[in-house]
Amino acid sequence: MTDIIGYILIIIGILFDIFGCIGLVRFPDVYNRLQASTKCVTLGTILLLVGVALVSGSPALSGKAIICAVFILITSPTAAHAIAKGAHASGVELWKNSVVDKYAESKLEIRNTNEVSGE
Binding mask 83-112 for another protein (x = CB under 8 A): x-xxx-xx-x--------------------
Q: What is the DSSP letter of 93?
A: P
Q: How far is the CB of 117 from another protein (least distance, A)?
A: 25
Is residue 37 within 8 Å of residue 20, measured between CB atoms?
yes
* DSSP reduced 3-state for 101: coil
Binding mask 1-40 for another protein (x = CB under 8 A): ------x--x--xxx-xx-xxx-xx----x--xx--xx--
Q: How distant, in Å, are the alpha carbons of 47, 66, 88 from that of 61?
A: 15, 9, 40
Least Cα distance to 49 among 24, 80, 74, 12 occurs for 12
User: Burial, 71: exposed, middle or buried (Cβ in 10 Å; 0-12, 13-18, 19+)?
Assistant: exposed
| Contact region with another protein (CB under 8 A), list: 81-89, 94-102, 103-111 | 81-89
| Sites of contact with another protein (CB under 8 A) | 7, 10, 13-15, 17-18, 20-22, 24-25, 30, 33-34, 37-38, 41-42, 44-45, 48-49, 52, 55-56, 58, 60-61, 64-65, 67-68, 71-72, 75-76, 78-80, 82-83, 85-87, 89-90, 92
